[in-house]
Structure 1
Amino acid sequence: MKIAAVTAVVALIVREFVFANYIVYGQSMMPTIKDGERIIVNKIDYEWREPERFDLIIFHADEESDYIKRIIGLPGDDIYYENDALYVNGEEVEEDFLEETRNENGPEIFTDDFTLQDLTDELVVPEDHFFVMGDNRKNSIDSRQIGFVPEEEIVGKANMAFWPPQSIRFFY
């Protein structure tokens, strides 16, 4: 009985404070994460390090919904897209994770041109906030529509997909 109680308490603590599993709904992160896949989210990763560009994060989008998106802009960054290329602080930054989708898209523009100021009236990403985008740029509600994500709304970093079993993989 004691072993069962201790196991239940440890499992509850791990589930509440360390890891969580989420089901991804929608196509905004395709092909990286598909609709219906289950992922593991590390809730404490950011206790030890700052979020990094291109991390996949879960955040509270509103009181009812959590979203998964990719960090594109960090606090203090000036970001813009021009001719389907990401520029951060005036330097072009490669988005290797988009290559598969760009190849499928052909010559069509994958990410429409924008500046941070056009979308948000800000010149740079504010302190303690992030600019996020889905990998399926044509079908994603992200910072281009909802604005910056406050750091306190981040639940954690997506570490791996575990369901369906044939799609088990880690995210880096």
Structure 2
Amino acid sequence: MADSQTLPELVRTAQDTAKSCHDRIDAILNSSNGASLTEEHAHQLVSETVAIELAAVDLFAVFESRTQRHFKRGPLARKVKAALIEAGQKDLANQLHQHYLAINVLKHGTGASYRELLNDKECLFVVKQATDSAATPDGTSTGLIDVTAPRFFEGLAETILAAYQFLEAR
């Protein structure tokens, strides 16, 4: 049986997945040459966007499961944020908290996390009004957080790695 991958290795795999999705999105958009997208292309764009959303949710879940051992039971993201603030790493704490909220929005849609991001004047990502979001064929929401925006996934990966390194060094 092979050893399981380390968190940094899993982050790299997730980054590769997201990059492949971004490359396919770029190819679809470039093939339209500014014309309206066909129904098939629009469906492919939604599919690739959902794949990035799922990769982001999975990556954060792996981060939580791999770092939970640093704390007793309870809300991990809040405990990591408090530890970062206590150590003087307020910027990283804010980045982690915002990514935590974004992942909650991707998982649950509108709610407290969504409202907090909408009201944050220094939000790191593009948060769309609920009426602006698309829906996948199975009715689940997509597009409340623009995961296709430049640096969304890279920012998530960098934040997770920095928080992981902080926890491992404690």
TM-score bracket relative to the smaller structure: under 0.3
- Give the helix-richer structure, 1 or 2: 2
TM-score normalised by L of structure 1: 0.25
